[in-house]
A and B are shown apart, each in its own frame.
Chain A
């Protein structure tokens, strides 16, 4: 009676905990597909920080809509773009929307820059030389002869060097961003009317972006016959990736579960047992999810997809318990069976956790999350299998007919293999695995392409590139950053601007040399205070008024016409700072170039955006002349980081393996048995790598992570078999467990191998192949080990 009460109490407690975990997960569920989770957060932390901030910046939040009508006349496209803009401007997710550069507030611009025209001179040494002054006089005369001469004439007495008009032209080019403007609207390639908009929230926030994408689609279909709408922007790719990941997770989880249920139905022939077998898995996944949500606040889609693969690991424990309880029951009921296999369960679980725990020391937030998810999930599944599941199993149960037949069949195979003549065939398998590893492993080529983490619809990518080409958009993944630090923010900003002035000169030279197509710089709007003061100081040179007058008189101007340049030099406002532009129409543009960074002291980064970099190495060489500057190619940096992290993760895996072997040796205290339990997993992993390498598959970070699963499950098989080595019935039951476990794993990972995501495919193929090899090698090693002992 007391035993029965105790069983009920344990069962109820387990259910309560399960419901509590489910409620916690439900209330805090937050999935992210933000790829920055898999970006470095140490070494080059400042650049990674900038890259991460750029991922949230206006540049990344900007969507470009391109409208084209039939025929060569752009008027219908322009009209359609206006209607599109009107339809979308009021959407809650739209922060701003522009169909053109907007009205020009000339007075605001004039008020900021004209009084500071003395600060706008670049290259004073050349421009104020005698030759430079003569050239300026020629240029002014040419301007006066133009239709705009009547207006230039009014500026000239106070600005004969045309510093202010030149600054206006720089602003104009920067504001329009290289776009053609027709009747106040942006036009690309002469035919595509453009609408630019920025979202309020991150493009990786799928929940926020989905309604806007739907609204764009609806507005696009309402534009009428013969009008096509195309789009460029990060949000659409992020949304597609998120949908793809959700679809993968959903498909894999559903089909895996259905497959498992069918397999269990065949093996256990009891709906109650089928349902119970899934409980430790459910508990493991919920506990893992809750741990991630509590520790990190969100869980990444890739972690969830990886977590779905924990089905393959956690289900092994309940299968193992059931097979032993049904085929080789211990007297005393299910609790006694669980007690008998307790050591194997714990050892299997702990070796798996030891393997994953090593990942917690990586610098990838995403991989740390995977480590926590896997460790908590496996631990919970082991606890649930050992203490909760037995309380719900019937005191008496009969195995399914298929299980009995399979166990009997496996038993006969084991007897045959234990016979003397089978030694050769037993040895053939590990030898073949060694050969595969020996040939293949030296051929391993590492692939550290970040694109492995996401899959991209080629049509969507082509459309994105077409639209980007029309707007000559800057590359969001490449930029130059000028970093300045100082005792306060103003000093840091000035240091960054000084560096940015040098960056501007370097980029101008690079553009002239064809090393890059175009760039955008804050320099067009504001330069360092030091450069501005140098400009003013140059104009205050005592002999300049006379030299200027002489140069202009030589070109036909009347003497004394330009005294106005020097009249108000001392009384003007000080150098222009970025903050001075905040209240002007330029404020929005300027903001996107400037980033404040976290650090020990105030640090400001000024960005220069690039397009069409054809020679990154040459560009880096030029930037050596700009102290404090860095050329950041995100794809290149992430590939380098990935290579580093792949190598580090491999080290951690090997480190984890040492821990696993130590645990196994501690348990069995005999090297032969320990090796028989441990070595097949390592050999299976090595042979898997060898086969992949021979098939030309580049090995990346995710293959290494997948190898952890292979090692974990392979060691589990070895440990379960080692625990049963002295008990023939138990050994057969364990062997059946291993076969079922392998089948369930191959089912789950076989589905992953067919995923649209290259990342999940890498994991699926690696684990599927590795686990199959473990299934073959683990029993063989145990049998060979038995022979050795005899």
Chain B
């Protein structure tokens, strides 16, 4: 993770931590790690689903993300490709409306777009780590971590036109400060392929991401890992 030097991305740990205070987190939240709750037991079906996620060799998918905000008259739309590799590496390469990349790995969240690049340390910000984990752990199928952060409810949905059984997984945060920011996540899929993810924030804003051309058996060569899981211009 690189920060601060003149030619490399800026590190905004302060930005995040200081602004969490503005985000309505309780006093002291920015300086302290989130309080974890005792895990809640999951149903066998959910355990099975998460186990299948955990067994994935990797994931690639096209995505379309719509951010609907009270501030904006029309949603912000991003489109691109998403890749997930085991051990928690996730990258989104946005191709429209403007190129941008978001990369998450063990220690950091990095993003780059036309306006520059930024690196956020997950080790320095337990709150940020919590937000990141809330998405990455789903792809990783990390049941234990998900049980600490969410109450989860799995429901069966009517089969699609191809006759394949579909499911809906609803997650509600249990841990502060997530509970002040996110109301719920709703994930819809079939087998281990995600169809959509909807994040509903406290206050009503929501982000809906739809997935297509999902490959849940994606295997990455060493060259692909290097080429795909990096920011543009980074060696």
Contact = CB atoms under 8 A, between A and B. Distances in A.
Interface of A: 103-107, 109-110, 114, 139, 141-142, 144-157, 164-165, 168-169, 171-173, 175-176, 178-184, 190, 472, 518, 553, 556-558, 561
B72 A182 contact: no
Given A109-B18, A165-B19, A168-B15, A558 B118 contact: no
A413 to B, nearest CB: 75
Contact of A106 (B30, B69, B123, B205): B30
Name the residue among B22, B67, B102, B131 with the largest chain A CB count within 10 angstroms.
Answer: B22
Contacts of B24: 154
Contact of A144 (B10, B69, B73): B69
B31 A154 contact: no
A114 B15 CA distance: 12
A171 B14 contact: yes
Given A110-B22, A168-B14, A182-B1, A144 B72 contact: yes
Interface string B149-191: 0000000000000000000000000000000010000000000
Q: How many interface residues does chain B have, given as a range?
A: 35 or more
B76 interface: yes
A556 B77 CA distance: 13
9 nearest A-B residue pairs (beta carbon)? A106-B18, A106-B17, A106-B30, A172-B14, A154-B23, A110-B21, A176-B4, A104-B17, A151-B19
Nearest to A142: B115
B71 A184 contact: no
A160 to B, nearest CB: 9
Interface in B106-136: 107, 109, 111, 113-115, 118, 120-121, 123-124, 131
A180 B4 contact: yes
Contacts of B131: 150
Of A151, A179, A558, chain B has the most CB atoms within 10 Å of the CB of: A151
Contact of B71 (A110, A156, A178): A156
A151 B111 contact: no
Contact of B12 (A142, A169, A178, A190): A169
B48 interface: no
Contacts of B201: 150
B15 A169 contact: yes
Contacts of B21: 106-107, 110
Given A110-B18, A561-B71, A518 B4 contact: no
B28 A107 contact: yes
A139 B205 contact: no
Residue with the greatest number of chain A CB neighbours at <10 A, chosen from B10, B18, B28, B30: B18
Given A107-B27, A178-B5, A154 B205 contact: no
A560 to B, nearest CB: 10
Interface of B: 1-6, 8, 10-24, 27-28, 30-31, 67, 69-74, 76, 78, 100, 102, 107, 109, 111, 113-115, 118, 120-121, 123-124, 131, 181, 201, 205
A107 B13 CA distance: 13
A184 B123 CA distance: 8
B71 A151 contact: no
Contacts of A110: 18, 21-22
B125 to A, nearest CB: 9
A553 B73 CA distance: 8
Contacts of B70: 558, 561
Contacts of A180: 2-5, 8
B229 to A, nearest CB: 16
Given A148-B15, A165-B15, A183-B121, 10 more contacts: A141-B72, A142-B114, A145-B78, A154-B24, A172-B12, A179-B5, A180-B3, A180-B5, A181-B121, A558-B71
Contacts of B17: 104, 106
B69 to A, nearest CB: 6
Contacts of B22: 110, 114, 151, 154-155, 164
A107 B21 CA distance: 7
Contacts of A155: 19, 22
A181 B118 contact: no
A148 B5 contact: no
Contacts of A164: 19, 22
A146 B4 contact: no
Contacts of B67: 144-145, 149
Given A106-B31, A110-B18, A147-B111, A556 B23 contact: no
Contacts of B124: 104, 181, 183-184
17 contacts: A106-B18, A106-B20, A144-B76, A150-B131, A151-B19, A152-B19, A153-B205, A154-B23, A165-B19, A168-B19, A172-B10, A176-B11, A180-B8, A181-B13, A183-B121, A472-B5, A558-B71
Nearest to A176: B4
Nearest to B78: A145
A103 B13 CA distance: 10
Contacts of B181: 150
B31 A103 contact: yes
A110 B24 CA distance: 13
B21 to A, nearest CB: 5
Contacts of A142: 113-115
Contacts of A176: 3-4, 11
Contacts of A145: 67, 76, 78, 100
A169 B70 CA distance: 26
A152 B78 CA distance: 18
A189 to B, nearest CB: 9
A139 B115 CA distance: 9
A142 B97 CA distance: 11
Q: Which residue among A171, A178, A556 has the maximum number of chain B CB atoms within 10 Å of its CB?
A: A556
Contacts of A106: 14, 17-21, 30-31
B72 A558 contact: yes
Contact of A181 (B4, B6, B19, B102): B4
Contacts of A104: 13-14, 17-18, 30-31, 124
Contact of B69 (A153, A173, A184, A553): A153
B164 to A, nearest CB: 32
Contacts of A147: 102, 109, 111, 120
